[in-house]
Amino acid sequence: MKDILSLTREELTEEILALGEKRYRAEQIYKWLHIKRAYAFEEMSDLPASLRSTLRENYIICKITAVKTLISKIDGTRKYLFELSDGECIETVFMEYKHAYSLCISSQVGCRMGCKFCASGLDGLVRNLTPAEMLSQVYEVERLTGKTIGSLVMMGIGEPLDNYDNTIKFLTLLSDENGKNLSLRHVSLSTCGLVPKIQELCKLRLGLTLSVSLHQADNTKREDIMPVTKAYNIDELIAACREYISYTGRRISFEYTVISGVNDSKEDAQKLSKLLRGLNCHVNLIPANNVTETNYYNKKDSTRIFESYLLSAKIPVTIRRTLGSDINAACGQLRRQSAE
Ligand code: SAH
């Protein structure tokens, strides 16, 4: 059975027409799913009973269930553990920042990129999320909190560009004016650097912010912490970033997790400054968060010191505020978990 929530408005219309129904029925169904957020076809009271039963026979409506919620005592950040229909679990983080609400969603169950400092890929990739499973994280958190999500980051579990087609469909659904209608200007997509997919993405000119997880400007050293570098080296990655900037006119945000003794030396900063000089970009420093299974850590002040090196080289840089660290909701701490 097909998941009706994964169909874009265009696809849904085609399918409804193919069932011999009128076009406006597709509009009604889309509204039930994406505005009224119906979980059952029975709720769709303005559809004839016969159409409701045809829908029931042919489609399911994705439903994810919050099986655990952790609330940070420090900043109110909420981490949800959602169970999917096949029993797999993913995490979603809800944050409040300056009275606006932001959501960090997962794009895969697990991850196969193998970055050494990240908890999300410790068990490898289990499977991709469907567009509906990505969208349901937004809808379900809005239902549970009663708040409207104003911005979204694809920085949870998984590599969104390794699940490219579903990610694009999800973004189409998210920004559809007859649905959630979230402008992609309020969306950031983070990638560890899948070059061909960055090249494909830029041609769509979506208007979202591309965040590139760089973490090291030296190729050999980056290979040690990010195996993806062996497939696409730093020169190729920066060339793809240039292409992205020229296609979209948007600046790139580079993420740099500051790991003591690994990538936080003055030379590391100089190499990074040289690499990024003249590029329309911004560097976001993330103090490395502790992941129990890894030895990586962040010494007090090392992020500030690294920031000062970049500032003196006139590279635009900020330090990311860490939210939800007491509930393991910060960057790199999300992982696949069982519901027990
Ligand atoms: N796969 C995508 C999405 C993950 S985003 C990507 O790689 O960009 C999460 C961000 O947190 C990435 O920049 C990631 O490299 C970073 N991160 C991973 N582990 C971390 C840790 N232990 N401390 C701080 N940041 C970490």
125-173 per-position pLDDT tens digit: 999 999 999 999 999 999 999 999 999 999 999 999 999 999 999 999 9
Mean pLDDT (whole number) for 25-54: 98
Confidence tier at 225 by pLDDT (50, 70, 90): very high
Residue 201: is its pLDDT beyond 90? yes
Pairing of strands 100-104, 89-97: antiparallel
Strand, coil or helix: what is 134?
Answer: helix
pLDDT value for 340: 47
CATH assignment of 2-60, among 3.50.50.60, 3.10.450.50, 1.10.150.530, 1.10.1040.10: 1.10.150.530
CA distances from 7 to 26, 104, 200 (A): 11, 22, 21
Residue 107, ligand 1, Cβ within 6 A: no
Place of tokens 């952790």: 70
User: How much distance in Å is there from the Cα of 245 to the middle of ligand 1?
Assistant: 22
Greatest CA separation found in the chain? 70
Confidence tier at 77 by pLDDT (50, 70, 90): very high
Q: Give percent of the chain with pLDDT exceeding 70.
A: 98
Place of tokens 């919620």: 69
Nearest atom in ligand 1 to 215's CA: 15
pLDDT value for 281: 97
Q: Give percent of the chain with pLDDT exceeding 90.
A: 86
Residues in the chain: 340
DSSP 208: P
Is the Cβ–Cβ distance between 21 and 27 less than 8 Å? no
List, by residue number, the catalytic residues: 91, 331
CA distances from 329 to 57, 104, 133, 281 (A): 39, 10, 20, 26
Residue (of 30, 41, 95) closest to 63 by Cα position: 41
Confidence tier at 198 by pLDDT (50, 70, 90): very high
Helix (H), strand (E) at residue 306? helix 302-312
User: How much distance in Å is there from the Cα of 192 to the middle of ligand 1?
Assistant: 8
Helix ranges (H only) for 176-258 are 195-202, 219-225, 228-231, 234-248
Q: Whose CA is nearest to atom 19 of ligand 1?
A: 332
pLDDT value for 99: 82
pLDDT value for 103: 98
pLDDT value for 338: 55
206 C-beta neighbours (distance < 10 Å), count = 19
CATH assignment of 65-339, among 3.40.190.10, 3.40.50.1820, 2.60.120.260, 3.20.20.70: 3.20.20.70
Residue (of 143, 140, 110) closest to 127 by Cα position: 110
Residue 332, ligand 1, Cβ within 6 A: yes
Residue span(s) of the chain under CATH 3.20.20.70 come to 65-339
Residue span(s) of the chain under CATH 1.10.150.530 come to 2-60
Average pLDDT, the chain: 94
CA 25 to chain centre: 32
Between residues 65 and 122, the one the model is more confident about: 65
pLDDT, tens digit (0-9, with 9 covering 90-100), for 302-340: 999 999 999 999 999 999 987 887 888 777 677 766 554
